[in-house]
Amino acid sequence: MKARITVTLKSGVLDPQGKAIEGALHGLGFADAADVRQGKIIEMKLDETNETAARARVEDMCRKLLANPVMENYSIEISA
């Protein structure tokens, strides 16, 4: 299976990079861009063929390394 993990800062956690991007967008004339937040995407392949098991495995990875629950949320997409 393939996994795609999206890691974002929790709402309420200051995202200065998002703010800087927003400022640059405004400078380019995209005045309506608001609440810009920057996150990251991690993709991987897994040997696991069962979707539920693959998801559980990636959850474990998120908890142990890929996301920091103090400041980040994550979501997981599993595909064949």
Q: Which residues form the interface with another protein (CB under 8 A)?
A: 13-17, 19-20, 64-66, 68, 70-71
Report, in Å, the least distance between residue 33 CB and another protein: 18
End-to-end CA distance of the chain: 5
Nearest Cα to Cα of residue 53 among 36, 25, 27, 76: 76
Per the CB < 8 A criterion, the answer to whether 68 and 8 are in contact is no
Q: Which is nearer to another protein, 33 or 61 (CB)?
A: 61
State which residue, 14 or 80, has the beta carbon closest to another protein: 14
Q: How far is the CB of 52 from another protein (least distance, A)?
A: 26
- We find the least distance from the C-beta atom of residue 20 to another protein, in angstroms, to be 6
Between 15 and 78, whose beta carbon lies closer to another protein? 15
